[in-house]
Homo-oligomer: A and B are copies of this chain.
Amino acid sequence: MLPFDIVEYQNRLCKTKERMSERGIEVLLITDPANMNYLSGYDAWSFYVHQMLVIIIDEPQPLWVGRYQDAHGAKATTWIYDENIIAYPDYYVQSSHYHPMVFIADILKQIGQGNRHIGVEMDNYYFSAKAYYMLQQNLPDATFKDADLLVNYVRIIKSEQEIEYMKRAAKIADQAMAVGVKTMKPNLRECDAAATIYRELISGTENYGGDYPAIVPLLPSGENTSAPHLTWTDRTYEQGESVVVELAGCYKRYHVPLARTVSIGQPSKELQNITPIVIEGLTKVLESIKPGMTCGEIEGIWQKSIKQHGIEKEARLGYSVGLNYPPDWGEHTASIRKGDPTVLQPNMTFHLIPALWFENYGIEISESFRVTESGCESFTKFPSKLIVQDPFSLNEQDGKIS
């Protein structure tokens, strides 16, 4: 049932403990659901309540601590022995009287960990200000340390099995983009395009099913292509407008994102002018990537390329990608941007998205790649170009998907 061999989980745990040791952390409280999954296999939509994995430096097994009704799921999806699955009663859930971190602090004291150096993931979505406050109040003898991204940095180099899962995610991404883009014609509602893309992402291929992506398909259209994180509405597409589609295929929580810009009918002059500049920059970057370079150097190649055309880009170009849960598929470690010192190594995986946004329009053409021994290779096969949905091939349709 586990997506990886138990040896791989133990290897991950071992690397995590090495980093704990380097930083003087004896007990690590993992609240990031991706890190929980990475170390234990745990996979459920239960991260909307407080839960964690406790890694104790001198204990062989993690503890899973979560809500009572989720303990069955923990037993079903992890390699952790049943006696290490600890559940709190339901009256702790979203209560004004009881906080799960008090329960967890009590457990830590009971097992003799209350006076140790405890690492917490300070900037994670699933470690709220209140969670930290309650732990501090209830573990007065502990010394807290910021262990944010500690496990994320272990995740940054993928194993062969992880790369294989990302290749499957890539096939799903290619398929969803191909099928989704094909539907984009005048009078189609944005929500129906999104529905088609979603169906493909979740259904997956004949050989393996898809998983839910950590971010919904983003598909701003018309003037809203200047606003990258808008989702869909039920307005209908109009002839001559463009749509930016950013999606990710997902397989066993591993993501491969892919963005393309679609012109419904003849592209605007602006899009026609900007597209070759973006593709030239993207191509130069992909051709230059080699192990040993830094992320900052990659960014320099892009800036040099677009500067020749009088363009500058403020936002980062990309980020490390892989295993994740909502609300983000990025790993929050390496960013492809000015000054990022991360040195590329084989089997690091990135989403390179040198998007440009202007006052009334935007363009996104992206590639997800893995660093190889000598360069890099794209995960997806979908053509890197502006997609033009030819107006002369229009069929009559009512805008509702079949």
* Chain A residues close to B by CB (< 8 Å): 43-48, 68-70, 72-73, 76-77, 89-91, 93-95, 99, 120, 122-133, 146, 148, 189-192, 194-196, 198-204, 206, 208-212, 215-216, 218, 224, 226-234, 314-316, 319, 326-328, 330, 332, 335, 337-338, 357, 400-401
B126 touching A70, Cβ below 8 Å: no
Partner of A327, one of B43, B72, B123, B327: B327
- With A and B bound together, what is the CA distance between A399 and B126 in angstroms? 36
**Cross-chain contact B90 with A227 (CB below 8 angstroms):** no
Most buried by B among A95, A126, A198, A218: A198
Q: A45-B215, A70-B229, A195-B203 are in contact. Are A125 and B125 (CB under 8 A)?
A: yes
Q: Which residue of B lies closest to A225 (CB)?
A: B72
Q: In the complex, how many angstroms separate the beta carbon of A11 from the nearest chain B beta carbon?
A: 24
Could you tell me the distance in whole angstroms from the C-beta of A287 to the nearest C-beta in chain B?
25
A120 / chain B contacts, CB cutoff of 8 Å:
129
With beta carbons under 8 angstroms apart, the residue of B44, B90, B206, B224 that contacts A337 is B90
B208, B218, B326, B330: the one contacting A94 at CB < 8 Å is B330
Q: Judging by beta carbons under 8 Å apart, are A202 and B210 in contact?
A: no
Q: How far does the alpha carbon of A94 sit from the alpha carbon of B200 in the complex, in Å?
A: 30
**Contact assessment for A73 and B130 in the assembled complex, using a CB-CB cutoff below 8 Å:** no
Q: Are the C-beta atoms of A73 and B212 separated by less than 8 Å?
A: no
Partner of A48, one of B76, B316, B328: B328
Q: Within the assembled complex, what's the spacing in Å between the Cα atoms of A333 and B120?
A: 27
Contact A315 B90, beta carbon cutoff 8 Å: yes
- A189, chain B: closest CB distance, angstroms: 6
Q: This chain: how many copies in the complex?
A: 2
> CB distance A191 to B215 under 8 Å?
no
**24 A–B contact pairs at CB < 8 A?**
A44-B227, A45-B218, A69-B227, A69-B357, A70-B228, A73-B229, A76-B227, A91-B338, A99-B123, A120-B129, A128-B128, A129-B132, A130-B146, A130-B148, A132-B132, A191-B202, A192-B203, A195-B201, A195-B202, A198-B198, A206-B400, A209-B233, A212-B216, A212-B231
Cα of A122 to Cα of B208 in the assembled complex, Å: 41
A192 to B209 Cα, complex, angstroms: 8
A204 CA / B191 CA spacing, docked (Å): 8
Q: Give the residue name and chain of the B residue nearest to A313 (CB).
A: B90
- Find out whether the CB atom of A128 lies under 8 angstroms from the CB atom of B130: no
Q: Is A128's CB under 8 angstroms from B124's CB?
A: yes
Contact partners of A400 in chain B: CB under 8 A: 203, 206
Measured between alpha carbons, how far is A99 from B123 in the docked complex, in Å?
10
Instruction: Kindly list chain B residues whose C-beta atoms are within 8 Å of the C-beta of A216.
Output: 45, 212
Q: Within the complex, which residue of B133, B192, B314 is in contact with A122, where a contact is CB–CB below 8 Å?
A: B133
In the complex, what residue of chain B is closest to A210 when comparing beta carbons?
A: B191
Is A202 within 8 A of B194, CB to CB? Answer: yes
Contact: B148 with A91, CB < 8 Å?
no
List 10 A-B pairs, minimum CB-CB distance, nearest first. Answer: A191-B209, A209-B234, A129-B132, A195-B203, A73-B227, A123-B130, A48-B328, A72-B227, A195-B202, A122-B130
In the assembly, what is the distance between CA of A94 and CA of B331, in Å?
9
**Are B327 and A47 in touch, CB under 8 angstroms?**
yes
> A72, A146, A212, A232: which has the most chain B beta carbons within 10 Å?
A72
Q: Residue among A124, A146, A229 with the most chain B CB within 10 A?
A: A229
* Complex Cα spacing A229 to B75, Å: 13
Residue in B44, B94, B230 whose CB lies within 8 Å of A229: B44
Q: Which residue of B lies closest to A215 (CB)?
A: B45
How far is B356's CA from A90's CA once the two chains are assembled, in angstroms? 13
B191–A229 contact, CB under 8 A?
Answer: no
Q: Which of A46, A218, A231, A401 has the most CB of B within 10 A?
A: A231
